[in-house]
Structure 1
Amino acid sequence: MATTPLEQARNRKLIYAGLIILLFTALVIYRQVGVVETAAERYGISETNIGKTDLGGSAARFLLASFRGPLICSLWWEAIELQMRHDWDQMEIIIKSLTKLQPHFRSTWEYQGWNLAYNVSVEFDRTQDKYFYIAEGIRWTSRGEAINRAQLYDPDSPTGKRIVGDPTLRWSIGFFIQDKMSVSDEVKTYRCYLPLSCTPPRDWDPYEFRRDPERLRAFKKDYPHIVERIRDLKHLPEEAEAALDNELQAFLGGLFRPDFPSLYPEQLRGQRTGLLSAGVGELDRFPVWPKPDLTEVVPPRLRLALDNFAPEKPETQDSHEIARLWYEYSVAPLPPPDLELDSLTPERRRLYRMPQRMVSLIFRGNPARAKSKMGERLSQEGWIEESRQAWAEAFEMWRDFGRENQLEIDPEEIDELQMRAARFGGQYPSVASGLDQLPPSAAKDEEVLRDMAAYRRLQNATARQDVGNYRHWRVTAETYMKPEGIEVWRHLYNAKHRYKSDLLLAQAEYKKALDGWRDLMTINKGRAESLLGLAPYTLNTAALYQSRPFFALTPFGQNRQTHEEIAPYYEEYI
């Protein structure tokens, strides 16, 4: 019996429905069982691999579909307009929406963090407000860094995954802290604010100081760094203790507010202000330190520092030290210095990140450079023994940096390498200068090839040392960690400290400091009566010093930057 057209149509629909169900089931199995999901996991292209996911942001991006791009453009325009109108609250809402729609776009986090810390902060007159937005910009960038930690497939890892962060965002956090707290116009004030942000507010509550003077005396004893910085900020002499007590209470009273950036915001939002302390997250605190995941690969020095971390220690509250930890953390995603990325397979290459806008050799030297800056800052403030420890740690870091990055050669090898390099340069000067190639006969001589390899190795080490001024930083740290080096800083601090109260004593201390530098810079120090005789040449090259027959320069004295750093102190003495 022939089927009717209606039955034929029904049968076709049933067949189509069956095929749809069959294909859909096969597609789901194909995706889930291991083909698509496994490939996405292996190549690190799923959203969970790129970084942390947010349910609200993911839903918004899914619903907007192709309208997301135009909406993002309009939000960027709106954020700029709100900034021009100084509508900071609405601007913050807009940029939060932007990061919901572009959570894994690094420039959103990096630019807006920089914008808050550098552009928005300077629009205010009060330093407390400036400090708030500097802290907000740094916290903003740290949130972006935490969200953009990729989880990538790593067959060598016990868990099968490796967490890889963004080195540029991590470097930005360290740079913002170091730059704003040590170079900006309000640096003296910020140096008072930063350790207070690290100190529990109950220890510096000005209301308790007025009620109980013993607590004020205990604060001055327990936190000498903060007290001396406030004394320097207010230009108070050592003997003016009563004036110092009044200034301390007034200064701290202006900061004891719920919006002051602190590691302990709940103590500022207690019963005195009537605000609740609930809902304070780790990234709402300030300052921020690196918080690696447990399975993340980080440098051993950073892991040790974070394991022994204590925010109440003065060295932990230093902006250079906080920056140093972030710089160490930023180096973690980089490949080992001796590893060429081009030699890796694409799967292995994904496990590493390279910094943006900076040569990797300079980027790797940032932690040691920050430690040297910390030693210099402690020396200038008169914390002599602490600065000596910082200089010693800086020297150790520079030494390790030089060895890891092929900037230094083992002392046991250097004599032979120099002998071979000199022989090669004498025999084949045109080849050594890169103007010619080895003759065919010499190219087969193993001894000549070893000489050429020694010449190239020394040449490469010298060239790499010049990239980040490595010799200056290493020799400076090595010099100032010695007792005679740190004595120079002691005399300089005494000179600056006595400049307004006892001019003759200050002049004598300056003289001792300059003579100490003379002894550090010259070998025949008995022949050079004083560094003052060298002062007219302090901005000239080391070759000019070498041409003077009555003394020879040490490695510390041969560096031009050393002379440039000493020149301002000589001018102060004059």
Structure 2
Amino acid sequence: MSATYERRSAQRKLAYFGIILVLLTLTILWRGIISLPNLFAEKTILAQAERLEMREIDQGETELSGSAIRLLLTGSRGLAVCSLWVAAQEKQKRHEWNELELLVKSITKLQPHFVTPWLFQSWNISYNVSVESDRLNDMYFYIGRGIELLAEGERVNRNNPDLRYWVAFTYQNKFGVSDKVDTLRCLYQLSCIPPDERDPKKLVDEKGEINLRAFEQFCQKNPQLVRRLRESKVACLTPEEVIEFLRDNRKVPSRYQDATTLAKTGDQFPVLPPAFVPGGEDEQKPNEPISDSGSDAFLAARAWYRYSLLPLPDPDPEPSATPERAPPGKRIPRKPMLILFRQGAARTQSYYAERLQAEGWFDETGWIVDDRIIGRNRWFPDSTVILGSGTKWSKVAWERAHEMWYQHGRSNGLLLTPEQVENYRNDARLLLDMGLVKSMEENTPTLTADQLADPALARAADSHRKLMYLRQNLGVTNFTYFLYNAEAEKDDITIRGRKLFFDADRLASRYADEAKAIASYREAFDLWKRVFVTYPQYHRDERSDQSQDWVYERQLKYEKLLKSEYGSTARNAVAYARNLLQQATATVLPLNGLTSPYLLEARDARLQERQSLPLTGPLEGLAPDGQPWVKDGVKETVKLRFNSSQPRPAVPGDALSPVQDPQNPNPPPK
């Protein structure tokens, strides 16, 4: 009996062992560990993992210590991550930044391929932690740490468009619209300069006095940095203050590991994407130095935006919606919507061009360092130093922006020819004729299988759908404004007008030279009218009044200057006399035997003073197309904003308001 049991037990063991061998063999074959004939090779788990890039080595850089810790924690990894996350929040509340950074790194080590911790913690450091710093160089340090964390996450999670996009967005946002943007941009530029070239010791002699020759060479090599230091809110008004700024910020995050040698890609700040093609041939690269004009966070953001497009599906040159599922090897970002995601690079190029204009870089004339400055405040008493000359800054930047917007529109179905739109409309009218839609503006109806069997009806539905997507995409992207804006801004007339407005603003506010400011405004308004006539889409855009808003604010400044310079009556006379002068240039009128236009203007000014005609500003009245130069709604909005920014005039007999009370400069809110 016992022998029978032993025999059956042995048979069961052999059967179990055989089943195990069979299952193990099938598993090995199914996993693809042993190579199979081509018929089955593509269906193995390993082949599919390679095709979908799901292996850890395909997802990005691997880190041995992090992998070992994750294996040792086994099923308790979730508990460890939650505990570290709570501890990180507590460290942030207590302002224990070093401990917080250590905990953040631990969280990302335990969840390297979960994108959310990288996104959240980098945003937390760049935005929440950085604003807690009193010193701007500390703020800059934590902004850099947040960006570096995102870049590290991108290296670990290869081909992730979201991480790349948010690296670009952080550059654009923190160095573009921050309230401390002037100083942050200066620090960013210092990070791009080799430490040996910005060594303050090389700008002074043995006695500690300014070496003007070395200082001028530094200025010639870094014109935009120097101009921002002097003319922005940083306000380094003397060479000594510039050198002191370099000394105070000697140790900033840098692209260099020593005085002259670039650091490894992962150790650089600003961190740049690796060299990539297609589309990235002209972008900044981590193994190349960056010039002064290239030391701009907008250009770094542009490179990351374009780098983020590589994992995306190919763009559709016809209007379309975001695909529900990406093809193999491609990915769809979480947010923003795909059509907005794709325009990041072009938008950042427009930001870069606007930044150049805002800081006074328009044409090849450059910047005269000591322009209108006399006495001891001159940096170079014995010479006229001009920086940044020889480059058409604004034109080059706006031409690049227009090229990028045009390519973006053609590639993504936003810029269609009139013939394409008309063909879509002609095809889609069949839906209207059959009563399936009441207007062309409705959403495309869902057709039945029988209706789709009709080729003409299916084509009509497809054309109607493309028109719907075109309308939606143009609505959310504001593409037409950006395209027409770049087209107008690259024109030499626009650039000249912008420069005149810039000079007029500075003459009035910085130098208090109202007469020259008025003359500059006059010439600028004449040019700006030509711009509006030449580029009606830029002037009359349906979705943006920004161009009208901006120039009408200049008109209010101009009118205020006229009132201050000539009085409320004489300012009308100046405008009236100027019109007469323009007419007189064609047929010169005699005036006591003389034909001087200046005497003519003076005579007409006195005549107009007596007549007291009402003031008509440069942009009042109608344009040649019969429409107002500036819409009434824009005028009211700008006037409210402009008047609210002006100090309230004192009223005789009024008591001082709480804000005006010198004994109570900061009263509590009521």
TM-score range, shorter chain: 0.7 to 0.9
TM-superposed CA distance for 1:192, in Å, is 0.9
Q: Which SS does the other structure have where 1:291 is aligned?
A: coil
In structure 1, give the amino acid aligned to 2:517: A
User: Could you tell me which of 374, 378, 387 is aligned with 2:352?
Assistant: 374
Q: 1:509 aligned to 2:520?
A: yes
Change (3 A) 1:105 1:251: same
Q: TM-score with structure 2 length normalisation?
A: 0.67
**Partner deviation per Cα, 1:463-511 (whole Å, 9 max, x = no partner):** 4222211111001100010011111221122123323212332233233
Deviation at 1:42, TM superposition (A): 3.7
- Out of 463-472 and 49-58, give the one that drifted further: 49-58
- The residue matched to 1:349 in structure 2 has which SS? coil
Aligned-residue offset at 1:23: 5.2
1:26 aligns with 2:29: no
AA in 1 matched with 2:216: R
CA contact (8 A) 2:503 2:517 kept: yes
Q: What's the secondary structure of 1:334's corresponding residue?
A: coil
Q: CA deviation at 1:408?
A: 1.7
Q: Aligned partners of 1:211, 1:202: CA distance in 2, in Å? A: 16
> CA offset at residue 336 of structure 1?
1.7
**Aligned mate of 2:393, from 386, 392, 408:** 386
Distance 1:495 1:318, change over 3 A: same
**2:347 aligned counterpart, secondary structure:** helix
1:528 maps to none
Question: Letter of the aligned partner of 2:87 in structure 1?
Answer: E
Could you list the per-position Cα deviations for residues 280-329 of structure 1 after superposition, in whole angstroms to 9, with x for gaps in the alignment? 64222110111157xxxx4x332343579854323421121111111111
How many Å apart are 1:379 and its aligned residue?
1.2
Is 1:186 matched up with 2:180? yes
The 1-side partners of 2:430 and 2:9 are apart by 94
CA contact (8 A) 1:290 1:329 kept: yes
Query: In structure 2, do the counterparts of structure 1 residues 536 and 80 end up closer, same or farther at CA, with 3 Å as the change threshold?
Result: closer
- CA displacement, residues 79-112 of structure 1 (integer Å, 9 cap, x when unaligned): 1111111111111111111111100111111111
CA distance in 1, matches of 2:147, 2:501: 34
**Equivalent residue, structure 1, for 2:382:** none
495-504 or 410-419: bigger deviation: 410-419
Paired residue type of 1:72: V
1:216-273: per-residue Cα shift (whole Å, max 9, x none)? 2210111111110110136769xxxxx521011100000112xx111114239xxxxx
Report matched runs for 1:75-94 at 5 Å. 75-94=84-103
The 2-side partners of 1:456 and 1:25 are apart by 53
**SS class of match (1:286):** coil
Instruction: Tell me how far 1:52 sits from its aligned partner.
Output: 2.8
From the superposition, tell whether residues 292 and 473 of structure 1 become closer, same or farther in structure 2 (CA, over 3 Å): same
Q: Distance in 2 between matches of 1:144 and 1:126?
A: 28
1:289 equivalent to 2:257? Answer no
CA deviation map 1:339-395 (0-9, x unaligned): 989989x8x724211122311111111111111111111111111121211101111
Distance 2:644 2:495 in 1: 21
1:216 and 2:227 correspond: no
For 1:113, the equivalent position in structure 2 comes to: 122
The residue identity in structure 1 corresponding to 2:91 is: L
8 Å Cα contact 1:124-1:130 kept in structure 2: yes
Matched, 1:227 2:226: yes
Q: Which amino acid in structure 2 is aligned with residue 551 of structure 1?
A: P
CA distance in 2, matches of 1:453, 1:330: 30
Distance verdict in 2 for CA 1:554–1:70, change over 3 Å? farther
**Which residue number in structure 2 is paired with residue 240 of structure 1?**
none
CA separation in 2, counterparts of 1:359 and 1:287?
27
Measure, in 2, the Cα distance between the counterparts of 1:378 and 1:423.
51
Give 1:57 deviation, angstroms.
Answer: 1.3
Query: Residues of 1 paired with 2:339 and 2:322: CA distance?
Result: 17
Aligned twin of 1:396:
403
Distance 1:484 1:566, change over 3 A: farther
Matched, 1:334 2:306: no
Distance 1:49 1:113 in 2: 23
Measured in 2, the distance between the counterparts of 1:461 and 1:538 equals: 37
Q: Do structure 1's residue 495 and structure 2's residue 504 form an aligned pair?
A: yes
- Correspondences of 1:30-179 after superposition (within 5 Å): 30=29, 31=31, 32-34=33-35, 35-149=44-158, 165-179=159-173
Q: Is the 8 A contact 2:182 2:234 kept in 1?
A: no
| Corresponding residue of 2:545 | none
Following superposition, the deviation at residue 432 of structure 1 comes to 3.1
- 1:266 paired with 2:276, answer no
Q: CA offset at residue 39 of structure 1?
A: 3.8
Instruction: Tell me by how many angstroms 1:567 deviates.
Output: 10
Whether the 8 Å contact between 2:171 and 2:300 is mirrored in structure 1 is: yes
Find the structure with the greater CA-based Rg: 2
Q: Which has the higher helix share?
A: 1
Measured at CA, do residues 456 and 351 of structure 1 come closer, stay the same or move farther in structure 2, by a change above 3 Å?
closer
Structure 1 264/496 Cα, relative in aligned 2: closer, same or farther at 3 Å? farther
Is residue 556–residue 562 contact of structure 1 (8 Å, CA) maintained in 2?
Answer: no
Range 364-373 or range 463-472, more displaced: 463-472
Moved more, 171-180 or 281-290: 281-290
Task: Give the counterpart letter for 2:346 in structure 1.
Answer: A
Matches within 5 A, 1:319-330: 319-330=297-308
CA–CA distance in structure 1, aligned partners of residues 553 and 101 of structure 2: 54
CA gap of 1:103–1:422, structure 2 versus 1, over 3 A, is closer
C-alpha contact (below 8 Å) 1:472/1:562 kept by paired residues: no
The alpha-carbon deviation at position 196 of structure 1 amounts to: 1.2
Q: Does the 8 Å CA contact 1:197/1:261 hold for their aligned counterparts?
A: yes
Separation (CA, whole Å) in 1 of partners of 2:281 and 2:534? 41
In the TM superposition, what is the alpha-carbon distance from 1:37 to its structure 2 partner?
2.5
RMSD over aligned CA atoms reads 4.6
Paired with 1:377 and 1:168, the residues of 2 have a C-alpha distance of 26
Q: How many residues align?
A: 519
Residue of structure 2 aligned with 1:521, choices 511, 524, 532: 532
Alignment match, 1:552: 625
> Does the CA contact (< 8 Å) of 1:523 and 1:554 recur in 2?
no
Deviations 1:139-171 (A, max 9, x none): 11000011101xxxxxxxxxxxxxxx1111111
Tell me the residue number matched to 1:432: 440
Q: How does 1:247-258 map to 2 (within 5 A)?
A: 247-257=241-251
3-state SS, counterpart of residue 38 of structure 1 = helix
Q: 1:553 to 1:200 in 2, by over 3 A?
A: farther
Partner Cα separation in structure 1 for residue 254 and residue 398 of structure 2: 29
User: How much does 1:566 deviate?
Assistant: 12
Look up the equivalent residue of 1:325 and give its one-letter code.
Answer: A
State the distance in 1 between where 2:438 and 2:359 align.
53
* 1:439-478 alignment runs, 5 A limit: 460-478=469-487
1:509 alignment partner, SS class: helix
Q: Give the distance between the partners of 2:232 and 2:295, measured in 1 at CA.
A: 18
CA contact (8 A) 2:224 2:293 kept: no
- Aligned partners of 1:361, 1:523: CA distance in 2, in Å? 30
The TM-score normalised by the length of structure 1 is 0.77
Letter in 2 for 1:290: P
- The alpha carbon displacement at 1:430 in A equals 3.2
Task: Give, in whole Å, the separation in 2 of the partners of 1:448 and 1:522.
Answer: 43
Larger RCO (CA under 8 A, 6+ residues apart): 1
The one-letter amino acid paired with 1:508 is A
| Maintained 8 Å contact 1:510/1:573 | no
- Mapped to 2, the partners of 1:318 and 1:166 lie a distance apart of 24
Q: 1:8 to 1:426 in 2, by over 3 A?
A: closer
